[in-house]
Structures are given as structure tokens and as C-alpha cells.
């Protein structure tokens, strides 16, 4: 079996290290798989770069920096899923397929579904604070599973201190997330849509609506929240493995 290359994309104000142990788990459970985790401009190692104000500019940046030699799969969480969709539409020859986790797109998803009504004030409050209060608020919004909570928050605080996301980049990424729209034609490559039924940030109906519009598979975990790789990593990898076999 030929090696499969996956690129993993996190979401709003998160970086490649926020995947935690998930890449290693994925590598172990999907043999012959190579995994790369990349940072968006404004996050992680690229925290000093301004986040582009348009999706096309962001996609061009990622394509230029991470253009694969052979077609790859993209796994995108939330804003990362939106970016994966646009990468697929703009540069289909780069990709074999994409997995979108707890993601959304206009015009298929209404604004009040794309960002849950109670989530915006909490996000704003989080980004105006630092340290434990910020990361604890984000954890409460995105994670349902409490396992490894203290360890996770400790790492998240460390990431924040080392590569702090500026408020301007947060604002730009939030703008991209709430305005990101799709093209009026079906996806150009295979797509798997996954969601967590207890997502407090993005209404899980978004994935259902995309699946209905595109006539594609949608699978939902009944207990997971927004950060599915944190809450149910084994389940997520199992769904990807089955999708690859189908």
C-alpha cells in the first residue's frame, strides 16, 4: 500500500501543537500514513505574521508554502475545515480528499448556526484575557471530555506564552470564519463531514446541512464537542479509516 500523506489544519487562534497526541494516534492506527501539522499565518510559529484578510489570499499563502509533491488528504477542524474546502476548490490537483470536522460555510449555513449565539461574548472575553482564564474559557467552549483537562490547559498556556496570538489576528480570523462562503457547485474531491452533537461553538446542524446540499456522508458523535480530536480521537480516526476503505 502506498504511503498516504495527510495535512492537518486547526481552527481559530489555534496552532499545530493544539492537536496534542492526535497525530501520533492517527499515525499508529492508520499504517503507511505520513502526517504534517501546519500553522496558519498569525498562529503558532507564524504568530508574528498578519493573518490575511481574504480566504483566497490565505489559500494562496498555504499553497505556496506547503504545495505537496503528490496529492494529499486534508483534515480541517472548524476554520481549518473551511480552509480545506477552499484549498480543494482552488487547487484540486493538490488533494485526494478532505475531512471537515465541525465546520460550516455560507450560504448553506445561517450565521446564527455558524457561531452559536452564546459563544461570541465568551470568545471575545477569552481573547481579551491571558493565561489560565483565556485557555479555560476556550476549553469550556470546545471540549466536552474532561480527561487530561489539567495537563491540556497547562500545555495550552505554555503555547500562548510562547506564540501569543494578537488581538488583530484573532479579529481577522474570526472575520474569515463567520464570512467564509462556498462556491455554487459541488466539491471537486471526496469529502467526509464529521461533527460533535454537543458542540457549543458551531451548531452541529451545519455539517448536516452541508451533507444534504452536497449529497455526501455526515457522521456525528453523540457526546463530543467542538474539539473532536480531543474528545474522541479514536472514534475520529475510525471514521476516517472507514471512509478511506469505502
Contact 14, 42 (CB under 8 A): no
Please answer whether residues 76 and 100 qualify as being in contact, where contact means their C-beta atoms are separated by less than 8 angstroms. Answer: yes
What mean pLDDT, rounded, does the chain reach? Answer: 94
Dist. CA 80–CA 76, nearest whole Å: 4
Between β-strands 191-196 and 4-9, what pairing exists: parallel, antiparallel or unpaired? Answer: unpaired
Query: How many Å apart are CA 109 and CA 114, to the nearest integer?
Result: 6
Question: Residue 178: what pLDDT?
Answer: 87
pLDDT above 90 for 84: yes
Query: Domain range holding 46?
Result: 4-245
Kindly report the CATH number assigned to the domain that includes residue 67: 3.40.50.1820
Segment 110-119, tens digit of pLDDT:
999 999 989 9
DSSP notation for 68-131? -SS-EEEEEETHHHHHHHHHHHH-GGGEEEEEEES---BTTS-HHHHS-TTHHHHHHHHHTS-H
| Residue range 145-167, pLDDT digits in tens | 998 999 999 999 999 999 999 99
pTM exceeds 0.85 for this model:
yes
Q: Total domain count for the chain?
A: 1
182-207: b (≥16 Cβ within 10 Å) or e: beeeebbbbbbbbbbebbbbbbbebb
Residue with cell 479579529: 171
- Give the integer Cα–Cα distance in Å for 177 and 65: 21
Identify the H or E element spanning 7.
strand 4-9
Q: Quick one: pLDDT band at residue 79, thresholds 50, 70, 90? A: very high
Please check whether residue 105 is in contact with residue 82, taking contact to mean a CB–CB distance below 8 angstroms. yes
Instruction: Give percent above pLDDT 90 in the chain.
Output: 85
Beta carbons within 10 angstroms of residue 225's beta carbon: 25
Q: Which cell is 32 given?
A: 503507511
Secondary structure letter of residue 46 according to DSSP: G
Q: How far apart are CA 193 and CA 107, in angstroms?
A: 17
- pLDDT, tens digit (0-9, with 9 covering 90-100), for 178-218: 888 887 677 889 999 999 999 999 999 999 999 999 998 89
1, pLDDT greater than 60: no
The torsion angles phi and psi of 226, rounded to 5 degrees, stand at -70, -45
Amino acid at each position: 500500500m502506498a504511503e498516504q500523506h495527510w495535512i492537518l489544519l486547526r481552527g481559530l487562534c489555534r496552532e499545530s501543537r493544539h492537536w496534542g497526541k492526535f497525530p501520533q494516534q492517527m499515525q499508529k492506527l492508520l499504517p503507511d500514513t505520513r502526517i504534517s501539522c501546519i500553522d496558519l499565518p498569525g498562529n503558532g510559529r507564524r504568530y508574528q505574521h498578519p493573518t490575511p484578510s481574504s480566504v483566497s489570499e490565505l489559500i494562496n499563502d498555504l499553497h505556496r508554502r506547503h504545495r505537496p509533491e503528490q496529492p494529499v488528504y486534508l483534515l480541517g477542524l472548524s476554520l481549518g475545515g473551511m480552509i480545506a474546502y477552499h484549498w480543494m476548490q482552488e487547487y484540486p490537483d493538490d488533494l485526494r480528499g478532505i475531512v471537515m470536522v465541525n465546520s460550516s460555510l455560507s450560504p448553506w449555513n445561517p450565521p446564527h448556526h455558524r457561531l452559536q449565539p452564546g459563544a461570541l461574548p465568551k470568545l471575545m472575553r477569552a481573547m481579551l484575557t491571558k493565561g489560565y482564564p483565556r485557555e479555560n474559557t476556550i476549553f469550556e467552549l470546545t471540549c466536552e471530555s474532561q480527561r487530561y483537562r489539567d495537563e491540556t490547559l497547562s500545555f495550552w498556556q505554555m503555547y500562548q506564552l510562547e506564540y501569543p496570538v494578537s488581538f488583530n489576528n484573532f479579529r481577522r480570523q474570526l472575520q474569515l470564519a463567520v464570512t467564509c462562503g462556498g462556491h455554487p457547485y459541488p466539491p471537486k474531491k471526496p469529502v467526509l463531514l464529521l461533527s460533535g452533537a454537543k458542540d457549543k461553538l458551531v451548531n452541529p446542524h451545519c455539517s448536516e446541512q452541508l451533507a444534504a446540499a452536497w449529497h455526501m456522508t455526515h457522521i456525528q458523535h453523540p457526546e463530543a464537542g467542538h474539539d473532536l480530536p480531543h474528545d474522541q480521537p479514536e472514534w475520529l480516526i475510525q471514521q476516517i479509516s472507514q471512509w478511506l476503505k469505502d
